[in-house]
Amino acid sequence: MSGAFTRYLAGRVFGLLMVILALSAVVFFLMHQVPGGPFTFEKQPLPPEQMANINRKYGLDQPVYVQYFKWLWAILHFDFGIPFQSPSETVVSLVQRAWPVTIIVGVITITISYTLGILFGITAAVWQNSWIDRVVTFVATLGLTLPSFIIGFLLVYFLSVKLRWLPTGGWGKPQQLIMPVIAYGLGPMAIVARYTRASMLEVLRSEYVRLARARGLPWHRVMFRYTLRNALVPLITVLGPSIPDVLTGSIFIEGMFSIPGLGRFFTSSAQFRDYPMIMAMMLLVALLWGATYIISDVLYGLADPRMRVGGEVR
Amino acid sequence: MAMRDSRFDRRQAIRGLAAGAAGLAGLSGGRAFASSRFQVGSDAAPADQQVMITSWDGEGLKGECMDLYEGVYNRAGLSDLFSEPLTRMTKDFGVIPGTALGWDCSADGKVWTFHIDPNLKWNDGTAVTAADYVETFRYSADPKHAWDFTWYWNGIIKNYTEATKGTVTLDQVGVRVGSVPTDFEVETVDPVPYLPAMMLYSWPLNKVALNKYGSGKYNINVSTSVTSGPYYLAEWQPDRRFVVKANPKYTGALKPNITTQISNVVRGGSNFLRYQANEVDSTEVTSPAEIALVNADPELSRQFATNPQDFRTYYMFFDINTKPWDNLKLRQALAKAVDREGIIDAVLRPLAIPAYSWLAPGFPDANQEALKPIQAFDPAGAKRLLAEAGYPDGRGFPKTTLYIRGSAQVDKDVCQALTAGFKQVLNIDLTLENLDQPSFMAKLNAKPTQIAVGWLSYGMDYFDATNMLGVWLSGGRHSWKNDEFDRLVKQGGVMTTEPAKRSEMMMQAEKILVEDCVGIFVYHKLAGFLYKPYLKGEILTPNSFGYTGLQWPGFGTATLAIPQLYISNDVSKFR
């Protein structure tokens, strides 16, 4: 790794850290401006002294800027606080137990949906306008138009309630993954299938493929060496940004199937004014997206020499 | 176990209701109920199949503890099973003894002595004594603990409010051990004839464990949990499930038939589907769509039960310090423009009954029939009142927003029906706006309040009119202030004699509230529950009011449900 590349990378990482620092301040101050707090109860209002006791207990009695600097100091020591939604553990331990669940669901979903999507796309392109193409197009259209929670509901209704084949949800058994992965994966699979089909058709019509065919190269060689390889390049554009999405989970899928992942905390933390979790989620998302863009840029540079400056990745 | 000989029957229940709830305690009362009275049927499933599975909605700031005195709003599923309150409630809403075999009160009505069953034991072998209750109540008042429900005892127990403010020490709170270790004495600020009803919320923590671990969270750890209740903690996973099992060392009156309870943690999804898939044994039916499905299915209809639970009233309220809502005729016009029967038919049936007043039928001192004409649907009268208020045919009526707490579909549906009715009858427009609960309550509780017109509900905590009417006292939830109302509720509340007069004062107070139209009372909720056919027992049969299913406060130690519910052999057809 050359010095220019190291400087470039260091600059990008430093830039990301500055963005996160600014973002954390904005989010911290904004979330405290939203009416209501984590302990605004539904019944009778507590007298001010008793409300003060609660605020003191959770460190909410100090000025917001003091709270912010305390939070900043704490996270430098890897102390992200106690989540109000699960106060028997720390934010770190909550993320440690919930995030792997989300990642497992996400990785399985993306692996299966992308594999099937590519296969379906290729099949539909090779046998364009056949019944196979029409079936793939129909399934892809369903996947694109039906929201995941509708698909999930239908799966639960038919596979759990009517047929009793699968549990409605939960975590820990392989069969509990089937419906979430289908509901979560149908959309990405449809997108990949449509992209692959369109890209394949474009490449199949290109001159160099026609030339390869005209030269009498075997079908499989034309398909895999010339067509597929080039047709799949645009998929990187689709795959890259979807990774942070998948790694942070789906509130609908995790809720519907009672998956103890991280996804639902993105909305519930805001809804219930869970300040430590809001900040932790913000950091996680910012880091993931920031890292994804840095890695993507580096990979682009590695893959395409035109992206380099002075022979280095930029 | 040695308990006073007694049998549970309706007359006793009614006596309990009268003595405990309506404040006629005669300042002594209570008799224990032997659990042997409740025998399971011959169709009971074997012990290993006596497993009840429910789901617990873990969304929100919950899952921190298992005991009310550790935290009310942040309790986890299957909480309050590791000790028992001094009193309980029958399915006919009668207050009866819990761990207290009886109670007495001093002549001035301010010092109560609850006689705790001396046979009760913690599972570490030590006795349950008044010291456990004393320590628990002091802990709840500790400013460092910052209990989230202190308002419940504010102004009731002597020095309680002062202790929460830190102006007196905890040992000055009006709770102490009596002449024997099992006598628990409570000294109140004023006479509180409904104190036994309030003691429904008196689950003690174990004094030794509380002091050893510094909080009640010892009960979320299997290795440190201590129980004197009918169950012990077997599993505590706030992201997955909670499991409790029958306490083999239990010495109380609620010997359970259900040997294991599992509460699966859910955050979203449909409990109705989980019920249909036989994954839970019972669920509440809440949405209009689910109600329609139940009504259309004969089998589900047979499994359906409704009851008032916490006697919740849904209402539209006004800040009468804000123009134009200081105009009584305008408020009256809106109240009379509400077709409650029509709204219930369209949106809520069978999970509601029309409300024309604050206290739901069946609640102490409820007076619905007499008060009904005040806010009854009267389109012509409503139009006339609107004109007299200065808005003939709705002309000049200002732009108004009706704020709704939360985003429950049923609230949106009802409020849309309300505003459609206002438009149709009065030709006025109200805009709807949902606010999440923290935002709504922050705006409502602001001084002065920031919500001029809103939609809310309230359900009771203890079975006495002072609880529900207390919501409308000056300085309470709403900005309304009426000196006569305050006087009637406060003076009536402390009356220990002349029950008829006390009742009359409560009814007068409610009449003032209804006549002033500070709230438009729209409906009293009936909770709808589905119970699998294999869940059986006396507790599920209709009560004396005709309500079915488990009554408030549900399957726990504050009711007689535990020894009265069992799982029948039919369970094998479902699991």
* Average pLDDT score over residue span B390-419: 94
Share of chain B above pLDDT 70, in %: 93
- Per-residue pLDDT tens for B91-100? 999 999 999 9
Q: pLDDT above 90 covers what percent of chain B?
A: 82
And the tokens for B486? 């305050």
Question: Is there a contact between B146 and A57 if contact means CB atoms under 8 Å apart?
Answer: yes
Of B35, B188, B165, B76, nearest to B538 by C-alpha is B35
- With 90 as the cut, is the pLDDT of residue B542 above it? yes
Residue B551 tokens read as: 């009554």
For A90-126, b where at least 16 C-beta lie within 10 A, e where not — what string?
bbeebbebbbebbbebbeebbebbbebbbebbbbbbb
CB B347 within 8 A of CB B334: no
Is residue B533's pLDDT more than 60? Answer: yes
Mean pLDDT, rounded, for A285-307? 78
Q: Are strands B453-458 and B400-405 parallel, antiparallel or unpaired?
A: parallel
Q: In what order do the strands lie in the sheet with B400-405?
A: B352-354, B519-525, B313-318, B453-458, B400-405, B430-435
Q: Taking CB atoms and an 8 Å cutoff, what residues of chain A touch B264? A: 170, 258
User: Which pLDDT score, from 0 to 100, does residue B392 have?
Assistant: 96
The closest CB to that of B64, out of A87, A271, A272, belongs to A87
Please, which pLDDT band fits residue B62 given cuts at 50, 70 and 90?
confident
Six token digits for residue A90: 């720390």
Per the structure block, which two tokens stand in for A43?
Answer: 């019944």
Per-residue pLDDT, A224 = 81
* pLDDT at residue B7 in the model: 32
B449 pLDDT higher than 90:
yes
Q: Return the pLDDT at A226.
A: 82
pLDDT at A87: 81
Q: State both tokens at B328.
A: 């009584």
B147: CB partners within 8 A, 6+ apart:
B69, B71, B72, B139, B140, B141
Query: What is the mean pLDDT of the segment spanning B505-517?
Result: 98
Q: How far is B218 from chain A (nearest CA, A)?
A: 11
Q: Is the pLDDT assigned to residue A250 strictly greater than 90? A: no
Judged by a CB distance cut-off of 8 A, whether residue B213 touches chain A is: no
Q: Can you give the pTM of this predicted structure?
A: 0.86
B371 by DSSP, 3-state: which?
Answer: helix
Q: Do B268 and A85 touch (CB under 8 A)?
A: no
Average pLDDT over residues B277-281: 96
For A130-149, the pLDDT digits (tens) are 999 999 999 889 888 999 98
Query: Per-residue pLDDT averaged across B304-329, rounded?
Result: 95
**For residues B339 and B316, what is the distance between their CA atoms, to the nearest angstrom?**
14
In this complex, do A42 and B270 lie within 8 Å of one another by their Cβ atoms? Answer: no
CB spacing of A160 vs B269 below 8 angstroms? no
Nearest to A45 among B61, B64, B445 (CB): B445
* A86-95, A295-304, B439-448, B544-553, range with the lowest pLDDT: A295-304
Q: What is the mean pLDDT of chain A?
A: 88
Residue B39 has pLDDT above 80, yes or no: no
Range from A152-166, A254-268, B34-48, B219-233 carrying the lowest mean pLDDT: B34-48
Q: Supply the pLDDT for residue A308.
A: 62
Nearest to B464 by CA among B573, B554, B536, B364: B364
Predicted confidence (pLDDT) at residue A312 exceeds the cutoff of 60: no
| Percent of residues, chain A, with pLDDT higher than 90 | 49
pLDDT mean over B405-415: 90
- DSSP per position, B506-552: HHHHHHHHHHTTSEEEEEEE-EEEEE-TTEESGGGS--TTS--SPPT
Q: Is it the case that residue B36 has pLDDT exceeding 70?
A: no
CA-CA distances (angstroms) from residue B234 to A85, B154, B185?
A: 22, 35, 33
**What's the confidence (pLDDT) of residue B24?**
41
**Range with the poorest average pLDDT among B5-19, B112-126, B215-229:** B5-19
Pairing of strands B527-531, B519-525: unpaired
Q: Lowest-pLDDT range, A45-54, A136-145, B385-394?
A: A45-54
Token look-up 């503890």 returns: B65
Question: Mind telling me how many Å the CA of A163 is from chain B's nearest CA?
Answer: 9
Could you tell me which residue, B96 or B29, shows the higher pLDDT? B96
Which residues from A are below 8 Å from B266, CB to CB? 169, 258
Q: Which amino acid is at B348?
A: L
Cβ–Cβ contact B221 with A under 8 A: no
> What is the phi/psi pair of residue A133, to 5°?
-60, -40
For residues A222 and B192, which has the higher predicted lDDT (pLDDT)? Answer: B192
Mean of the pLDDT values across residues A68-95? Answer: 92
Q: What is the pLDDT of residue B21?
A: 42
**Touching A: B residues 235-294, CB under 8 Å:** 238-240, 264-270, 273-274, 276-279
Is the confidence at residue B9, as pLDDT, over 60? no
Contact A57 B264 (CB under 8 A): no
Mean pLDDT of A262-275: 90
Q: What is the predicted pLDDT for the residue at B164?
A: 95
DSSP character at residue B265: E
Using an 8 Å CB-CB cutoff, list chain B residues near A41.
73, 148, 441
User: Region B342-357: what's the mean pLDDT?
Assistant: 93
Give the rounded percent of residues in chain A with a pLDDT score beyond 70: 94
Average pLDDT over residues B396-403: 95
Confidence at B35, pLDDT banded by 50, 70, 90: very low
Question: What would the pLDDT profile of B165-175 be if each residue is shown by its tens digit?
Answer: 999 999 999 99
Write out residues 2-61 of B within 8 Å (CB-CB) of A. 59-61
CB within 8 Å: B154 and A56 = no
Q: What is the arithmetic mean of pLDDT over B64-72?
A: 95
Burial, B573: exposed, middle or buried (Cβ in 10 Å; 0-12, 13-18, 19+)? exposed
Give the pLDDT of residue A309.
Answer: 52
Beta-carbon separation of A161 and B277 below 8 A: yes
Residue A208: C-alpha distances to residues A123, A174, A197 (Å): 21, 46, 18
Interchain contact, A53 vs B146, CB within 8 Å: yes
The model's confidence at residue B30, banded by pLDDT at 50, 70 and 90, is: low
pLDDT of residue A28: 97
Per-residue pLDDT averaged across A280-284, rounded? Answer: 94
Interval B261-277 mean pLDDT: 93
More confidently predicted of A312 and A186: A186
Mean per-residue pLDDT, A33-49: 81
For β-strands B430-435 and B527-531, DSSP reports them as unpaired
What value does the mean pLDDT take over residues A28-36?
92
Let me know: does A38 contact A275? Beta carbons within 8 Å.
yes
Give the span between the Cα atoms of B258 and B562, in whole angstroms.
8
Contact A86 B144 (CB under 8 A): no
Tell me whether residues A35 and B238 touch, CB distance under 8 A. no
Sequence-separated (6 or more) residues with CB below 8 Å from residue B429: B394, B397, B399, B400, B419, B422, B423
pLDDT band at B23, cuts 50/70/90? very low
Per-residue pLDDT at B27: 54
Q: What is the DSSP string of B115-153?
A: EE-TT-B-TTSPBP-HHHHHHHHHHHH-TTT--TTGGGT
Kindly give, in sequence order, each residue whose CB lies less than 8 Å from that of residue B204, ignoring residues fewer than 6 positions away.
B69, B83, B128, B132, B133, B135, B136
Given a contact cutoff of 8 angstroms between Cβ atoms, the answer to whether A80 and A282 are in contact is: no
CB-neighbour burial class of residue B324 (10 A; exposed 0-12, middle 13-18, buried 19+): middle
Q: Supply the pLDDT for residue A241.
A: 73
Please say whether the beta carbons of B97 and B33 come within 8 A: yes
pLDDT at B38 (0 to 100): 62
Best-predicted range by mean pLDDT among A19-23, A54-58, A310-314, B267-271?
Answer: A19-23
pLDDT at B523: 98
In three-state form (DSSP H/G/I as H, E/B as E, the rest C), the secondary structure along chain A is: CCHHHHHHHHHHHHHHHHHHHHHHHHHHHHHHHCCCCCCCCCCCCCCHHHHHHHHHHCCCCCCHHHHHHHHHHHHHCCCCCCCCCCCCCCHHHHHHHHHHHHHHHHHHHHHHHHHHHHHHHHHHHHCCCCHHHHHHHHHHHHHHHCCHHHHHHHHHHHHHHHCCCCCCCCCCCCHHHHHHHHHHHHHHHHHHHHHHHHHHHHHHCCHHHHHHHHCCCCHHHHHHHHHHHHHCHHHHHHHHHHHHHHHCCCHHHHHHCCCCCCCCHHHHHHHCCCHHHHHHHHHHHHHHHHHHHHHHHHHHHHHCHHHEECCEEC
Higher-scoring residue by pLDDT: A267, A236: A267
Q: How does the average pLDDT of chain B come out, rounded?
A: 91
For the cut 70, the answer to whether the pLDDT of residue B34 exceeds it is no
